Structure 1
Amino acid sequence: MEITDQARDLLDQLLEDEEASCLRLFFAGFGCGEPDIGMTLAEPEADDELHHINSIPVAIDQKIIHLTEKLTIEGKQTMEGPKFQMLGLPEKDC
């Protein structure tokens, strides 16, 4: 998994502003027959794997850890606030 430098800077500020401990990636149900990955600022849960990726603490739900191997999180600042995109997820047939 990779977090780009721009995403790192935005996440670092969000973690500080929200007084959150980490970025958490979790199983968010199924879409088109494939698992979906959710992303939030939250405390790690008991079955999460903890990582530090580009200086960001990341908790990853063990159910979706295999989907994050080639994942890249990109971020940019917009008029509405920071926006993040997950790249490298498996293609869905829908």
Structure 2
Amino acid sequence: MKITDQARDLLNPILEEETAGCLRLFFAGYGCGEPDIGMAIGEPEADDELHHINSIPVAIDRRIIHLTESLTIEGKQTMEGPKFQMLGLPEKDC
């Protein structure tokens, strides 16, 4: 998994503001028969693996860790605030 420098620069102030402390990737149900990945700022849970990726603390739900190997998190500043996108997820046949 990778976090781009731009995403890191946008995440750092958010993590400093929140007392939660890390970026968390979690199992968010199934879509088209495949697991979906959710992304939030929060505390790690018992079944999470903890990592530091490009200086960002990341908790990844063990149920979806195999899906994050080729994942890249990109970020950009918009008029509505920072927006983040997960790239490199497997294509789904719906």
Is the shorter-chain TM-score for this pair beyond 0.5, marking a shared fold? yes
Q: 1:19 offset after TM fit, Å?
A: 2.5
Q: Distance in 2 between matches of 1:78 and 1:89?
A: 23
The residue aligned with 1:30 is: 30
**Structure 2: stretches of 5+ with no match in the other structure:** none
Structure 1: 4+ residue segments shifted above 6 A: none
Q: Distance in 2 between matches of 1:42 and 1:31?
A: 23
Number of residue pairs matched by the alignment = 94
The residue aligned with 2:73 is: 73
- RMSD value, Cα: 0.6
| Alpha-carbon displacement from aligned partner over 1:30-69 (angstroms, at most 9, x marks no partner) | 0111100000000000110000000000000000000000
User: TM-score under structure 2 normalisation?
Assistant: 0.98
Q: What amino acid is the match of 2:36?
A: D
For the pair 1:88 / 2:88, whether they are aligned, the reply is: yes
The residue aligned with 1:47 is: 47
**Structure 1: stretches of 5+ with no match in the other structure:** none
